Amino acid sequence: MNNKRHSARTERQQQRNDSGSVAQHFPDVSEIVIRMMYHQKGIKGLLRTFNFSPGSYAFFRVDCLCKECTDGGFDLTHVINGMVRNHREAAKGELSCEGSAQASDHASIAYEVAIHYS
Ligand SMILES: [Zn+2]
């Protein structure tokens, strides 16, 4: 169990290292801010904010908060790709955990993305 989780972590780290920088993917983006509100059993309105500068990894996956969840998470990559393509500055929506583990407490999130262009 711990090993499985550990290898998923390592793999995630590898994906992050392979993802390249924000500047490489989106040369005209000066800042990306992701705000997300977690909804999960036992956790009330946990708000997290992620800031990306041009030098940050262009890796927009966030882990599920559920302990048993090793392959889940929230992937905002397609949201951000779509926004940049259309030069949109703000978007919001909701996502549910993609995890396949039989766990009752997978989280879901409400997100807001703001992108500043240079
Ligand atoms: Zn999950």
61 Cα: distance to centroid of ligand 1 (angstroms): 13
How many other CB atoms sit within 10 Å of the CB of residue 54? 18
**What is the per-residue pLDDT for 103?**
61
56 Cα: distance to centroid of ligand 1 (angstroms): 25
**What global pTM score does this model have?**
0.82
For residue 107, give both structure tokens: 């989280």
113 pLDDT more than 90: yes
44 Cα: distance to centroid of ligand 1 (angstroms): 16
Average pLDDT over residues 106-113: 90
Query: Domain spans of the chain?
Result: 2-117
48 pLDDT more than 60: yes
State the DSSP string of 53-105. Answer: -TTSB---EE--S-TT-SS--EE-HHHHHHHHHTT-SEEEEEEE----S--TT
